[in-house]
Structure formats: C-alpha cells, structure tokens
C-alpha cells in the first residue's frame, strides 16, 4: 500500500512537471520578435521558424515546437478578435435597424389612425351634406371645427404671393422644412413598401413609394457608416451620385439663422430616352440643424405661386416641379448616421408621348434613380473608407467609379444631343427610324496612320440613335446576351475602324500579354456600385482592320454593365462601352455607345396616335403568336446610341455608314429579343415557379424521348428515373432538362454544331439556347479532348456509343470546366435513322 501511494505521488509530480513544461512565459523582447514575424508572415514554415531562432538570440532558448504553438495561438486570437469585431458591428447595425423599424412602425400606426379618422370624418360629412337637418348636426359640436378646414383647406402661405426678400425666402424655407418633415417622419403621404424591397440587415434600407398623392414620390431610410456632415456634403453634390444630373449651379447663397443657409439652385436632368425632352428645375434649398441635432437639407421648386425670384424657361428643357423633398440626417447611437430621403416631383408627363408616359408617372423609377442611388453611393463610399482599399488595375475605387460615371455621362450627352453641347441634327434620309446628330466641336486626337503615312485626325463626333419597344423579354437577360455574344450584333470591321480614333498602341496594356484569343474575353475590373454594377475591360481578339489602321492588333473596350437584378421594380438596365487607348488614363477621351432598357410598369396601347416608337410595329408583328395567345407581357423601352469619330471631309459617308450600321444592330436586337421571348415559353424554367412547366414544343419533347430511348438501347440502363421515362413527353423533357450531368446534342455534319443542351450543359458552356447553335463541337474540347474525339467519333458512328476519359471543356467565355468522365451515343429517331450525337459530361465543375 505504501509503495503504491509513493508510486502514485511520483506519477503526479511527473505529470505536473510535464504540464509546467508545456506552458512557456515569453519575455517582452521575445513577444516583440514573434509579433514582428507574425505581421510579415502569419503562417511561417518550419524552416522560417528555425531561421527566426537563429537570427534572434532572444529566442535561442525557446523550443521550435513552442514557437509553432505560439503562432497557432496567435492566429486563433486574431480570428477571434475579427469575429468579435464583426459581431459587435453587426449588433450595432441590428440595434440601429431595429430602432429604425420601430420608428417606421410608429409612423405606420399613426398613418393608419389618420386614415381611419379621415375615412370616418368623410363619411360623417357626406351624411351631413345630404341630410336636411345638417344645420343641427353641425352646430351640435360634432365633429370639431378644424375638420371642416381639413375638408376645404384654405390657401396656404406657400400658395400666396411673397416678395423675393430674404424674409420672404425664409418663410418659404420654413414651410418647405415643415412639409418635408411631415413626409419623412409623418403621415403627409401614404407610403407603401416598394415591390421587391424588403428591409433587413443586409438590405439597402426601407424603401417606400407614394400611393395616391400628386406627382411621383419615393422615400428611403437607411444606415450609413459616415458622419452626418460628410453625408450632407455628398448628398448636396447631386451630380456626384445622380447619373442623370447634367448640371447643378448655385445661383445665390443667403445666411438663414444659426448655422443655416438658403441656396437658389438651377438643375438640369438628362432625358433617359430619345422619346422625351430633358428636364430642368429652379429650386430653393434650405440647410438647417434641428433642436435634437439632426441635420436637414430640404428643397422645393420656386415658381410664380411663391412670388420668389423666377428663372426664365430654357429651351429645349421642360420645367419640372420638385415638391418639398430632402434629406434628414441624424447621428446613430452605434456610430454613423441614420438617413431619411424623400424625393417628390412632378415630371410633367403631359410633355412626353403616351407610350412612355408611365416612365414619368412611376414612383418606382424615382426610387431607383434617385433615393436608392443616393443610399447606394453613400454605402459604397463608407465601405471603402472603413476597409482596406482594393485597387483594380492600379486604380482606386473612386477612380473606377469616375470612369463608370464618365461612360454614363458621355452616353447621356450623345443621347440628348443638346445644342449648347455642340450637337446638331443631320437631315434624315427619308426614314425616321434612326436619328443622326453631329458634334464638330469635339476633336479626338489620334496617332494612327494609313499605308501612305498620312495621320488620321478626327475632327468631329457623330451619334446614331434610335428607340424601340420590347415585349415579353427580360431586360437583364437581353443585355446579358448582348454582353456575352457581341459577334451576334456587332461588326468587327466597323469596331476597328471607329476605334482607330483612339490611340491604338495597345501593347502597353497589361491585357496584351494574354495572347491570341479569338472572339471576346471579359476581364472584370470592379463592382463600382455595390453588386448592381460591373466595370470591365473587353478584349476583342484579332479584330479585322480597316485601311491597315489596326493591323494585327486586338481591340479593347471599357464596358459598364448595370441593372443586373430583375426583382426590383423600376430597375433600368444598361450596357455602355467605349474604345480605350494604350494608356487607359483617367483623363483620356471616351466615346461611349451602348444600350439602355427601361421597363414600363403599366400596359400600353401601342395603337395610340401619340405612339412615336418607330420600330415597335416590326417587333409586335414578330410576336403575333403571343398576342393571339392572349399574352400581355411586360414592356420596356430600349434606347440605342452609338458614337463615331470622323474626319470632316468624310462626314456624309460616315453618316450613311452609321445609319446602316444602326439599322443592322436594331434588326439583330429584334431577332435576339424575339428568340429570347420565344425560348422563355419553349424551354422549361429552372426550378419553375410553383412547380409549373412552361409549354414545351413538340420538337423538344420528341428529341428528349429519342435521347432516353437511344441511351437505354445502347447502354442497357435508364438515363432518367423509370417513373419519368414512362410519363408524358413533357415530364421526360423536364427530367432531361434538370439532369445533373451536362447533356449536349450536336448535328451529324462535317463541322458538328450543337443543337440542344439541358440546363447543366448551358451552365457548363456559359451560353444560352439562342447562342448554342453558333458553337462548334471542336471548340468546346481542349487539345487532348479533340484528339480523343477524333479517335472515338468513328466508333460512335459504328457501335453507337463510346466511353470517354475525363478531361477539360472550354466555355464560350473561355473558362475551363473539368469533367470526371463522358459518354457519347448516337440518337436515332422512330424510323431508326441517325438523328444526332448526344454527349453527357458527368461530375463537371469549373477549374
């Protein structure tokens, strides 16, 4: 017993010594040396740790294993610190969002009470005016006297003439402030949640649009990690974040009370389409600080009603009216600012054709273009200020945003073609579908030369523009197709010629090291406006030359693509691009061209005599099948504008060529739009809504049945579940369409082209059913795959099937997709004749 106890005690002492040896207390000098290495390399190799021991005498007595443990603990602490910081930040954000939602809930309850009381009051007075004993009812004290004024409101002070003195302007400013606050936090406007915009911690904020009020109005509430003063500075600089703002001039500034100012502003907004004139506004802006420390910037239009200083009308602008609007900015308890934005306008919809009038009567459009755009810009700037700067091709995020804004501004300038920008309209050729404007004041320099050594000097810019009506086609889907398949609508020879106005010395551009690509390669630069906007560089490989202007050179475009989301109402989709020169400098001239699609909320009567869309009838005729079927789908206005630099003596020939080129683009876009609209009704939807399957064509259903029958005949197994195989043709098509493996069919020709693919196959090739037929079989495989195909193809035709080893495919975007294995079989029709060859790529994934 004694020996056993002594043995136990010895074991305990030995264990205690081992535990003590595991814990090492480092000196400050040792910690400093380890921290220095950690910042250089958080995860050093064993050789680097041994080198550290040799280089630092203070660590000579530390076991390398202990140093390894120290780095493990240090990384763990860093991870915990970051996670704790993230959770604290999220908690502050959720707390502020919760407070904002509670305030919104209180406001909605007040609005409900107000509407209930107003409804009961209106009912009471309706009974009172139709009753012969109304005098006794009114004098009985029911209802209170102030409700009579609510039914017949007297003229407010803002509607009565004022003088233009500072006191008169101050009175207008105070009333503007009161009306704005009643809209931002009160019940002056009935707000309803904007479709597709649900509040939450990851959302942009609480977005609402007006219901039943004069004009169009939108309201946005959100959180921004930025101080109120900086927020106000950015929001007051409207051209900084509002893409449609052409200019905003401060005409006069007056002091107003303590830390307050009154400004008289003149603002011009571009028109979004060729079918409407631009707008301008004559405004009063009042900046003040409330008693609770909130910063307020409110605005309204000045007119003869207020009696203030007036601004003469400017041609060809239509004078719009801004009803009391503005920004309420208050500090948030968790840091940053809580912002309430109200935009309330009367855009004079009478001044535009009836077909586009819904654009000027849409509160959702105002919310997207103004209220949400302001919040997105603030969030983007705050995100860049709080995180490490990520540059794209050596550029700061602000510089990339400036490039995208430069593209939009250049596109808007060409689209509007205002005379004070130097634009004038060229006489039409008798057909009014394309408008040609010329600007001789723009001179684009160039260092390119022809064969005879004479330099090319551009002495002007020409713009061809047109608008058309789209129906039953998704704007983002159409623009995505145009973006990914430029060869379907663009002419590479004309691209090369008109790009020669820029400096075509592309060799200094980093992309030139990519070598011999054919077609186009999309190289992303950055998300310049959260995830809704992409800025990218397009490399058009081996572009053809014109008069040896771009011999053996690739053509590069700077491109902006936005409006990616389909769920939000009023979303405008744009694809705008411009040739870039070798320097790719921020101040280099750009000639933006591209497409803009704006959805029209309400259905339109295109037979109206006010309809001026030149190309609508052509597209409507192509979609006669959908009209006969009673389909009344969504409509959108598409505006196309292309700019071309030219020499003065070639203006007429370039104008004729540009007009013809524009008509060719319009024809291609119509064809693509009709095909996309048709395919949306032919092809089963991916995870169809509510399990509904779109009507399938007999050809697609028959081909799916042949694919499954041939697979069963050649391999002795079922391609799809037996239950689906014995079901209707639509069920077989749906099972093939949703099959996890990529299934592709190609024609039996000398140069096989794809004729069908399921959803997985389209995803692997990064294409659509419309563009699938332009892809040949040999371009999909890499070199080894093509060799294997040449070896197996005769066996497929003779034996009817073949197994192929794993390899790599190349998508239409140049991306590599590896597959574990592939099988191929000959598809035969009901008569036993060979119809096509079907390939199935199993367990594929992008490399």
Query: CATH fold of 28-105, please?
Result: Arc Repressor Mutant, subunit A (1.10.10)
pLDDT single digits (tens) 528-587 = 655 578 888 887 765 444 343 344 456 788 899 888 765 556 678 899 999 887 567 777
- Beta-bridge partner residues of 179: none
Q: What percent of the chain has pLDDT over 90?
A: 21
Burial class (CB in 10 A: 0-12, 13-18, 19+), 202: exposed
* Residue scoring higher pLDDT (154 or 252): 252
| DSSP SS3 for 258 | coil
- At residue 523, does pLDDT exceed 60? yes
User: In a 3-state reduction of DSSP, which class is residue 259?
Assistant: coil
Could you state, in order of their start, the residue ranges of all structural domains in the chain?
28-105, 166-387, 399-506+517-542+553-602+634-679, 698-846
Query: How many degrees, rounded to 5, is the angle at CA 443 between CA 438 and CA 447?
Result: 130
Cα–Cα distance between 211 and 218 in angstroms, integer? 10
How would DSSP label each residue in 70-131? Answer: HHHHHHHHHHHHHHHHHHHHHHHHHHHHHHHHHHHHHHHHHHHHHHHHHHHHHHHHHHHHHS
Neighbours of 824 (CB within 10 A): 22
What pLDDT sits at residue 386? 62
Residue whose structure tokens are 């990616």: 564
Which of 366-370, 696-700, 791-795 has maximum average pLDDT?
366-370
What does residue 786 show for φ and ψ, rounded to 5 degrees? -65, -40
| pLDDT value for 121 | 61
pLDDT band at 448 (very low <50, low <70, confident <90, very high): very low
* Residue 142, CA atoms < 13 Å, CB-side half-sphere: 9
The least confident of 580-589, 766-775, 792-801 is 580-589
DSSP 34-67: HHHHHHH-SS--HHHHHHHHHH-GGGTTS-HHHH
DSSP string, 166-227: HHHHHHHHHHHHHHHHHHHTSSSS-EEEPTT---STTSS-EEEEESSSSSEEEEEEEEESS-
- Flag whether pLDDT at 140 surpasses 80: no
Helix (H) or strand (E) holding 778: helix 777-780
Question: Quick check: helix, strand or coil at residue 609?
Answer: coil
Mean per-residue pLDDT over the chain, rounded: 76
Q: Which one has a higher pLDDT value, 724 or 204? A: 204
pLDDT greater than 50 at residue 488: yes
Q: What is the arrangement of strands in the sheet containing 635-646, beginning at the earlier edge strand?
A: 423-425, 435-439, 460-471, 635-646, 593-600, 573-579, 555-562, 533-541, 519-527
8 A C-beta contact, residue 532 and residue 548: no
The rounded distance, in Å, linking the Cα atoms of 720 and 717 is 9
Instruction: Assess whether pLDDT exceeds 50 at residue 650.
Output: yes
pLDDT of residue 601: 62
Q: Is 399-506+517-542+553-602+634-679 in the same CATH topology as 166-387?
A: yes
Question: 686, 490, 685: which is closest to 579 by C-alpha?
Answer: 490
How many CB atoms are closer than 10 A to CB 635? Answer: 20
pLDDT over threshold 80, residue 819:
yes
Cβ-based neighbour number of residue 584 at 10 Å: 19
Q: Which of 435, 159, 491 is nearest to 273 (CA)?
A: 435
- Which segment of 26-30, 421-425, 516-520 scores lowest on mean pLDDT? 516-520
Q: What letter would DSSP give residue 508?
A: G
Q: Which two tokens stand for residue 246?
A: 């052409």
64-73, 268-277, 412-421: range with lowest mean pLDDT: 64-73
DSSP assignment of 689-745 equals GGG--PPPPHHHHHHHHHHHHHHHHHHSS-SS-HHHHTS-HHHHHHHHHT-SSEEEE
Residue 422: left (phi > 0), alpha (psi -120 to 50), or beta?
Answer: left
Lowest mean pLDDT among 376-385, 626-635, 749-758: 626-635
What is the token pair recorded at 622?
């192509």
Question: Where is pLDDT greater, at 84 or 625?
Answer: 84
In this prediction, residue 274 carries a pLDDT of: 92
**pLDDT in the model for residue 7:** 54
| CATH fold group of domain 399-506+517-542+553-602+634-679 | Alpha-D-Glucose-1,6-Bisphosphate; Chain A, domain 4 (3.30.530)
Q: Is 438 helix (H, G, I), strand (E, B) or coil?
A: strand
The string of pLDDT tens digits covering residues 405-431 is 999 999 999 999 999 999 999 877 666
Q: Which range, of 276-280, 316-320, 480-484, 775-779, averages the lowest pLDDT?
A: 775-779
User: Hey, which residues does 84 pair with through a beta bridge?
Assistant: none
Look up the pTM and report it: 0.64
Q: Let me know: does 283 contact 268? Beta carbons within 8 Å.
A: no
CATH classification (class only), 698-846? alpha beta
Helix, strand, coil fractions of the chain, as percent rounded to 5 = 45, 25, 35
Q: Are 229 and 378 in contact (CB under 8 A)?
A: no
Give me the pLDDT at residue 552, please.
Answer: 42
Cα separation, 452 vs 459, whole angstroms: 20
Contacts of 726 by beta carbon, 8 Å cutoff, 6+ apart: none
* % the chain with pLDDT above 70: 72
Options 3.30.530.20, 1.25.40.10, 3.30.360.10, 3.90.226.10; CATH for 166-387 is: 3.30.530.20
Residue 446 has pLDDT above 80, yes or no: no
The 3-state DSSP class for residue 290 equals coil
Q: Distance between CA atoms of 166 and 249, rounded to whole angstroms?
A: 20
Per-residue pLDDT of 188-241, as tens digits, reads: 888 888 877 666 556 678 888 998 888 999 999 988 888 999 999 999 999 999
Here the tokens at position 39 are 């910042």
Best-predicted range by mean pLDDT (55-69, 245-259, 591-605, 809-823) = 245-259
pLDDT digits (tens, 9 = 90+) for 83-138: 887 777 777 777 777 777 777 777 777 777 766 766 766 655 544 444 443 333 33
């Amino acid at each position: 017993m004694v020996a056993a106890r002594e043995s136990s005690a010895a074991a305990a002492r030995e264990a205690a010594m081992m535990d003590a040896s595991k814990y090492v207390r480092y000196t400050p000098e040792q910690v400093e040396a380890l921290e220095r290495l950690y910042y250089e390399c958080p995860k050093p190799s064993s050789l680097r740790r041994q080198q550290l021991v040799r280089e630092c005498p203070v660590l000579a007595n530390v076991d390398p294993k202990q140093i390894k443990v120290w780095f493990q603990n240090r990384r763990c602490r860093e991870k915990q610190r970051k996670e704790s910081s993230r959770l604290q930040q999220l908690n502050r954000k959720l707390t502020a969002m919760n407070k904002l939602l509670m305030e919104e809930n209180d406001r909605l309850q007040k609005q409900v009470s107000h509407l209930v009381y107003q409804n009961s009051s209106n009912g009471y007075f309706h009974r009172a005016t139709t009753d012969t004993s109304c005098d006794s009812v009114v004098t009985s004290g029911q209802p209170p006297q102030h409700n009579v004024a609510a039914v017949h409101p007297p003229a407010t002070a803002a509607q009565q003439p004022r003088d233009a003195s500072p006191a008169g302007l101050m009175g207008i400013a105070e009333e503007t402030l009161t009306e704005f606050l009643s809209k931002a936090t009160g019940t002056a406007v009935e707000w309803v949640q904007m479709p597709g915009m649900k509040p939450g911690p990851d959302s942009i904020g609480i977005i609402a649009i007006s219901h039943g009020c004069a004009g169009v109005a939108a309201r946005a509430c959100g959180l921004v990690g930025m101080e109120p003063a900086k927020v106000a500075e950015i929001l007051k600089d409207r051209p900084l974040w509002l893409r449609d703002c052409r200019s905003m001039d401060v005409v006069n500034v007056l002091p107003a009370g303590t830390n307050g100012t009154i400004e008289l502003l003149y603002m011009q907004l571009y028109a979004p389409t060729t079918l409407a004139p631009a707008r301008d506004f004559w405004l009063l802006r009042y900046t003040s600080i409330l008693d609770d420390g909130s910063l307020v910037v409110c605005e309204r239009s000045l007119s003869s009603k207020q009696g203030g200083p007036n601004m003469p009308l400017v041609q060809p602008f239509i004078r719009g009216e801004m009803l009391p609007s503005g920004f309420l900015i208050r500090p948030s308890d968790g840091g940053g600012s809580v912002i309430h934005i109200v935009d309330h306008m009367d855009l004079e919809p009478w001044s535009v054709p009836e077909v586009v009038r819904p654009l000027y009567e849409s509160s959702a459009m105002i919310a997207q273009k103004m209220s949400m755009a302001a919040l997105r810009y603030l969030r983007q700037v705050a995100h860049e200020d709080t995180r490490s700067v990520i540059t794209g091709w050596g550029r700061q995020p602000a510089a990339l945003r400036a490039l995208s804004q430069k593209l939009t501004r250049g596109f808007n300038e060409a689209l509007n073609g205002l005379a004070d920008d130097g634009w004038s309209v060229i006489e039409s050729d008798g057909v009014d579908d394309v408008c040609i404007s010329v600007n001789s004041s723009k001179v684009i320099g160039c260092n390119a030369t022809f064969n005879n050594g004479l330099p090319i000097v551009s002495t002007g810019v020409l713009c061809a523009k047109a608008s058309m009506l789209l129906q039953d086609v998704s704007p983002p889907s159409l623009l995505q197709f145009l973006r990914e398949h430029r060869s379907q609508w663009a002419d590479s020879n004309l691209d090369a010629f008109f790009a020669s106005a820029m400096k075509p010395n592309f060799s200094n551009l980093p992309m030139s090291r990519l070598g011999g690509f054919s077609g186009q390669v999309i190289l992303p630069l950055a998300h310049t406006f959260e995830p809704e906007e992409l800025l990218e560089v397009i490399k058009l490989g081996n572009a053809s030359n014109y008069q040896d202007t771009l011999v053996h050179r690739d053509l590069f475009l700077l491109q902006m693509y936005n409006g990616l989301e389909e769920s939000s109402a009023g979303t405008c989709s744009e694809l705008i691009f411009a040739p870039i020169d070798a320097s790719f400098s921020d101040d280099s001239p750009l000639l933006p061209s591209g497409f803009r699609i704006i959805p029209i909320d309400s259905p339109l009567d295109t037979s109206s005599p006010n309809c001026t869309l030149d190309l609508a009838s052509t597209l409507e005729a192509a979609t006669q099948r959908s009209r006969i079927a009673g389909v009344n789908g969504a409509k959108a206005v598409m505006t196309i504008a292309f700019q071309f630099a030219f020499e003065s003596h070639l203006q007429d020939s370039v104008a004729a060529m540009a007009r013809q080129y524009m008509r060719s683009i319009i024809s291609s876009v119509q064809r693509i739009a009709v095909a996309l609209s048709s395919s949306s009704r032919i092809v089963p939807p991916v995870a169809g809504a509510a399990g509904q399957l779109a009507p399938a064509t007999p050809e697609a259903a028959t081909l799916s049945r042949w694919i499954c029958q041939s697979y069963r005949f050649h391999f002795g197994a079922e391609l799809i579940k037996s239950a689906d195989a014995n079901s209707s043709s639509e069920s077989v098509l749906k099972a093939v369409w949703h099959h996890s493996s990529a299934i592709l069919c190609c024609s039996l020709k000398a140069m096989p082209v794809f004729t069908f693919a399921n959803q997985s196959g389209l995803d692997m090739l990064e294409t659509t059913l419309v563009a699938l037929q332009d892809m040949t079989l040999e371009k999909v495989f890499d070199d080894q795959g093509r060799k294997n195909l040449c070896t197996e193809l005769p066996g497929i035709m003779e034996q009817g099937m073949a197994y192929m080893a794993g390899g790599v495919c190349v998508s239409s975007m140049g991306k590599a997709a590896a597959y574990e294995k592939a099988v191929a079989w000959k598809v035969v029709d009901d008569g036993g004749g060979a119809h096509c060859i079907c390939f199935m790529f199993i367990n594929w994934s992008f490399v």
